[in-house]
Amino acid sequence: VKEVEEVKPVKQKSRLSIIRAGIVPEGIHDYDKENWLDTFQVSEYAMDIFQYLRDRESLFIMHDYMPKQSYITPWMRSLLVDWMVEIQESFELNHETLYLAVKLVDLYLCKITVTKDKLQLLGAGALFIAAKFDERIPPLVEDFLYICDGAYLQKEFLRMEMNILKNVDFNLGIPLSYRFLRRFARCTKVNMPTLTLARYILEFSLMDYDTIRISDSKLAAAALYLAIKMKKVSGWTNILEFYTGYTEKEILSTVCLLNN
C-alpha cells in the first residue's frame, strides 16, 4: 500500500498569487494585494463586496417623486437634509448613518405622500433607523423626540419608524456613495486634502434633489473626479477608471451637476 503523501499547506504568497491572478490589469497597482495582511481591509473579498454593492444599486433606483408630493418641495427637502446634517454632527454619528438616513427619506417619499408637518418626523425616524444599523451606541428615542422640540409623541415616532422599515421591506443594506468614495480614494491613493474636498462635494450633493436618480457609485466617482480637477492633482487615469468602473465620458454629466 502506497503511503499517502503529506499535503503541504499553501504559503501565503502562493495563495495570494493564485487568488489575485487576472483580477487587476497589467500596469495598475493592486491595492488589495498590497494590503493583504490588513484584516480590516478584507482584501480577499473587497473586489467582490463592492461589485455586489454595484449590483444592488439597481434595487434602489429612485424616480422624480416631487410631482406626486402635494405638500412639499425640493427646497423643503433640502432644508430637511440640512437639519439632518446638524443632528448627525450634534450626536457625533458616522457619515454612513447620515447617508443611509437620507436614502431612507427619499425611498419613502418615492412611495408615500408626506405632509409638511410630518417631514421632520420622517427625517428623525430615518436617522434613528440608520443609527441603529450603523452605530455602536445609537441615540435613544427620547433623544430624537427632544431634538424635534416635543413636536411628536413617542407612539408617532415609533409608528413612523415602522412605516419606513416596511417601505424598504426591512432591507437596509443600501449601497451608499460615501462607502464607494472611501474605497475609490483608498485604491487610487488619493491624498487627504483631495479626499476631504471630495467628501465635502458629496455631502453637499445630499441636499440637491436632482442627484437622487444618479447611482451612488457614479456620484462617488464624479465627486472624486471634481475634487481631483479642483486640486489639479491629475486627470482621470486608468487606475481611477479601473477601480471606479467609470470612464471619464460616463461621469462628465454628473460632474457638471455637482459643480453647479
Name the domain count of the chain: 2
Give domain status of residue 36, yes or no: no
Same domain, residue pair 153 and 182: no
231 vs 123, 153, 176, 177, 191, CA distance in Å? 34, 48, 24, 21, 10
Give residue-wise pLDDT tens across range 53-81: 999 999 999 999 999 999 999 999 999 99
**Which of 134, 168, 202 is the endpoint of a domain?**
168
Same domain, residue pair 151 and 185: no
| pLDDT average, residue stretch 127-150 | 95
Model confidence at 185, pLDDT cuts 50, 70, 90, reads very high
**Which of 119, 150, 168 is the endpoint of a domain?**
168
| pLDDT average, residue stretch 125-132 | 98
Residues 6+ apart with CB under 8 A from 210: 257
Greatest mean pLDDT among 2-11, 91-100, 227-236: 91-100
2-6, 16-20, 96-100, 202-206: the lowest-pLDDT one: 16-20
| Percent of the chain topping pLDDT 90 | 73
| Percent of the chain topping pLDDT 70 | 91
Q: What is the CATH number of the domain that holds 155?
A: 1.10.472.10
DSSP code for 2: P
Write down the pLDDT at residue 26: 72
248 vs 126, 157, 236, CA distance in Å? 34, 44, 6
Higher pLDDT, 42 or 86: 86
**Which of 133, 168, 203 is the endpoint of a domain?**
168
Give domain status of residue 162, yes or no: yes
Is the pLDDT at 14 greater than 50? The verdict is no
Domain that holds residue 218: 177-258
Closest to 123 in 3D by CA, of 104, 149, 95? 104
Q: Could you tell me the pTM of the whole model?
A: 0.87
Same domain, residue pair 248 and 189: yes
Give residue-wise pLDDT tens across range 209-231: 999 999 999 999 999 999 999 99
Closest to 237 in 3D by CA, of 35, 33, 229, 49? 229
Is the pLDDT at 104 greater than 70? The verdict is yes
Is the pLDDT at 33 greater than 50? The verdict is yes
Same domain, residue pair 201 and 248: yes
Give domain status of residue 202, yes or no: yes
Same domain, residue pair 75 and 163: yes
